[in-house]
Structure 1
Amino acid sequence: MADRVDDVLRSGKAPNLHGLVVLRGGDVVLERYGAGQDHRLNVPLGHVEFGRDTLHDLRSVTKSVVGLLYGIALRDGLVPEPGERLMGQFPEYPDLGEDPARARLTIEHVLTMTLGLDWDESLPYTDPANSEIAMELAADRYRYVLGRPFVEEAGTRWHYSGGATALLGGIIARGAGRPLAEYAAAMLFEPLGIRAFDWFKGNDGVEAAASGLRLRPIDLAAVGRLVLDGGRDVVPGGWIEEMLRPRVVIDGDFHYGYQWYVNTGEHRWAECIGNGGQRLLVAPGEDLVVAVTAGEYDSGQDSATAVLDAVLDR
C-alpha cells in the first residue's frame, strides 16, 4: 500500500494532497502530509506546511459528522424521529407551514436530501448565486431553505443540498439547548479524545453545519473508526445501521443514506465527500478507514481519488 501511494505522489498524480491517514484494525498503517494553499471556507490561509497537528477544512464531510450528531441527540430524546414533520420543528414560520406540500415534509427528507426544493450548488462556492452561499448570506438561513420553491415532490429524488444539513444542525442545536459546536465537543469529540477543532460560523453566529468543520486528518480517521466499530458507546449502533442503509440511488451502486454515501457494489464501503478533495472512507470488509484532505477547492482536480485508488489498489 505504502509503495503504491508513494508512487502516486512521486508521479505528480496527487499534486494537492494535504493529508492522508490510513487505519487498519484501529492502528495507523500509513500517514502522509504535504504542503500547499489552504482556505478556511473562502478565507485564504496562504501556503501551509501540513503535519499531524494541522487542522484542515472538511467542507461537506461536515455533513456526515452532523448525521452522527443527530443519532446521538435522538438517543437522548433531544430531537424527533426521522418520520416526524419538519415544519413542526420551525414553528416560527407559520406562513410556510400552511403550504400543504411543505407541511408534508419530514426530517427523513432532510436526512436523505430528498426535500424536492429548488437548490443549486453547481456554481463555485465563491459565487453568491450558489444556494449554500446565498443561505449563508441570508438574514435567516432556515427561512431561506424552507421557503425555496418546490421543483418536484419530496422523496422523489436525491438532490444535493447543504440547506438540508443546515436544518439538521438547527434542530440539533435547538434540542440540545446549546450551539452545535458545543454539543459536538461534549458528545462526540471529547469521547474520541479530539481536543482541537474549529467550526466556522456565519454572520448570524450559527455554525455552518453543511461545510464549516475543521479537524486534523488523524481525528477525522478516528471518526471513521468509530463508525466502523458500530458507534461503540458514543453513537447508538442502531443509528449507525440506519445511517448507512442505502436509501436513495444516486448512480448505479452509489447510494445515499442519512448524510453518508454508501457504495453497494462488490466491495461495499461508506464515504463522506467534501469539496476540494476531502474524503473519509470506511470499508468494513477490509477493516479499513482512509481519511484524505486536499487543496483543490472548486478546481475540478482530484488528488483524493488518485490516492484512494492507490490505497485500495483499484
Structure 2
Amino acid sequence: MGDEKRSADMGFDPGMKRKLLAGIEAGLLRDLHAVLVSRGGKLVLEHYHDAPDESWGMPLGTVAFDAGTLHDLRSVTKSVVSLLYGIALDRGLVPPPEAPLLAQFPEYPDLLADPARAGMTIGHALTMTLGLEWDEYRSYADPLNSEIAMENAPDRYRFVLEQKVVHQPGTRWVYSGGATALVGAIIERGTGRRIEDFAREALFEPLGITHFEWMSGRDGVASPASGLRLSSRDLLRIGHLVLDGGLVGDRPIVSQRWIETSLKPLVTTGEGLSYGYFWFLDEAPVLGTPKPWVAGFGNGGQRLWLMPELGIACVIYSGSYNASDAWVSPTRIWREIVLANLRSA
C-alpha cells in the first residue's frame, strides 16, 4: 500500500509497481536487477531482484540486490565523466571544449603534426565526432572491438589518436569509448589526480556517495568509458543533481551552465537520437504531449533516464550484457511503466 500511495502522491498511477511486476512475471521485462523511479527528488518506485551478475565480464554468481549493492554502469560511466569534465572546467583546470585535442597530448608530435588531425577538438571527443575509424558495434567479447583493443593496447591514447581519419571532425557521430578515454586523460592531467580520486572529492562526497568502484584496464588506468560501479540509489543521486541544475541543496557542485550545455542536442546519432556531451537525448509523449528526455546508456541494459521538465529520474540495472536486444526491457519500463503511468504533469 505504501508503494501505491507514494505513486499516487507524485502523480503516477497507484498500480505502477504492480504493472512492473506483472511485466516481469510475463517475461516481457527480462534480466532486471534494479528499477528505481523518483520525481521531484522523492522515491516513487523501488524494486530489486536476485539474479546472476558480473563485473566487467567476471562472474559474480547470484547477487541479492538491494539499495547498497554496487553494479556496473558500463557506458553510463560516460555521462558521469561529462559531469567531472564540467566540474574541472568550472574550476579552470581543463581547457574548454573548443580547444585543440592533440595539443593536450604533446607526447605524440607525429600525430600533432598531421594536418588531417589538426581540426579535432575536445568538444569533438565529448560528442563522439572525432572523425576517426572506430568499431564498437562488434560484441565486447570480441578482441577486435575497438574499445577492447584499446584496453589491450600498450598505449591507449596513441591507439585512439592514431586511428585512420575517415570523416571531417564534427560531421559524423561514431560511438567511441576511445573518445571518452581521451576526455578522462584530460581530466586527470588537468586536475593532477586519478579520475576516481577527483570523482570522490568533486562529485561523490558532496552527494553523500561513500562506496564505489572504478574498474581499471591492464595498465592500471580507470576506464572512463565503462568502468564505474555504483549502487542504484547513488546513481539516482547523480540523476537528481542533473535535474537540480548542478545543486545539492544550495551548494553548487557543477555549474548550471555546464548542465545546460552538456544536455543540448549537438549532433544526431543516425539511430533516431541526438547526442550532447556524453548524453543521449530525445523526446517521448507524456499525457499526449512530447517531452524531452536525456539519458546515459550502458551495455546490458543499464540506464539513467531523466525528464528535466517533469523532474523524473529512472535508474535501471540489468544483466543482459552483450545481448543485441538488451535495450528492449529498459525502454519498455521507461515508456510503458514510467511515462505511460503518469497521471499529472
1:267 is matched with: 291
Could you tell me which of 237, 253, 257 is aligned with 2:276?
257
SS at match of 1:155: coil
1:15 Cα deviation (Å)?
A: 2.3
1:102 is matched with: 117
Deviations 1:23-79 (A, max 9, x none): 111111110001222111121212212111110000000000000000000011110
1:218 Cα deviation (Å)?
A: 0.7
Q: Establish whether residue 67 from structure 1 lines up as the match of residue 94 from structure 2.
A: no
Q: Establish whether residue 33 from structure 1 lines up as the match of residue 48 from structure 2.
A: yes
Q: How many residue pairs get matched?
A: 314
SS at match of 1:268: strand
- Unpaired segments ≥5 residues, structure 2: 1-15, 285-289
1:300 is matched with: 324
1:160 is matched with: 175
Question: Contact 2:37–2:314 at 8 Å: present in 1 too?
Answer: yes
Deviations 1:106-132 (A, max 9, x none): 001001000010000111111110000
Could you tell me which of 173, 179, 197 is aligned with 1:182?
197
1:311 is matched with: 338
Question: Contact 1:96–1:147 at 8 Å: present in 2 too?
Answer: yes
Question: Contact 1:5–1:311 at 8 Å: present in 2 too?
Answer: no
Q: Establish whether residue 225 from structure 1 lines up as the match of residue 240 from structure 2.
A: yes
Report the TM-score when normalising by structure 2: 0.89
Could you tell me which of 223, 234, 240 is aligned with 1:208?
223
Question: Contact 1:253–1:264 at 8 Å: present in 2 too?
Answer: no
Amino acid at match of 2:330: A
C-alpha separation in 2, matches of 1:201 and 1:131 = 17
SS at match of 1:29: strand
Give the alignment's Cα RMSD to 1 decimal.
1.2
Question: Contact 1:36–1:48 at 8 Å: present in 2 too?
Answer: yes
Deviations 1:76-120 (A, max 9, x none): 111001000001100000011110121221001001000010000
Larger gyration radius, structure 1 or structure 2: 2
Could you tell me which of 19, 37, 47 is aligned with 1:22?
37
- Unpaired segments ≥5 residues, structure 1: none
1:284-295 alignment, distance < 5 Å: 284-295=308-319
Q: Which moved more, 1:60-69 or 1:265-274?
A: 265-274
Q: Establish whether residue 247 from structure 1 lines up as the match of residue 266 from structure 2.
A: yes
C-alpha separation in 2, matches of 1:146 and 1:39 = 31
1:4 Cα deviation (Å)?
A: 2.3
C-alpha separation in 2, matches of 1:242 and 1:11 = 41
2:138 is matched with: 123
C-alpha separation in 2, matches of 1:187 and 1:70 = 11
Deviations 1:183-208 (A, max 9, x none): 00110000000011000011111011
Q: Which moved more, 1:257-266 or 1:128-137?
A: 257-266
Question: Contact 2:129–2:174 at 8 Å: present in 1 too?
Answer: yes
C-alpha separation in 2, matches of 1:96 and 1:44 = 39
Question: Contact 1:120–1:131 at 8 Å: present in 2 too?
Answer: yes
1:264 Cα deviation (Å)?
A: 4.4
C-alpha separation in 2, matches of 1:303 and 1:17 = 8
Could you tell me which of 144, 152, 162 is aligned with 2:159?
144
Amino acid at match of 1:307: I
Identity of aligned residues (%): 52
Q: Which moved more, 1:32-41 or 1:237-246?
A: 32-41
SS at match of 2:291: coil
C-alpha separation in 1, matches of 2:52 and 2:17 = 25
Question: Contact 2:101–2:122 at 8 Å: present in 1 too?
Answer: yes
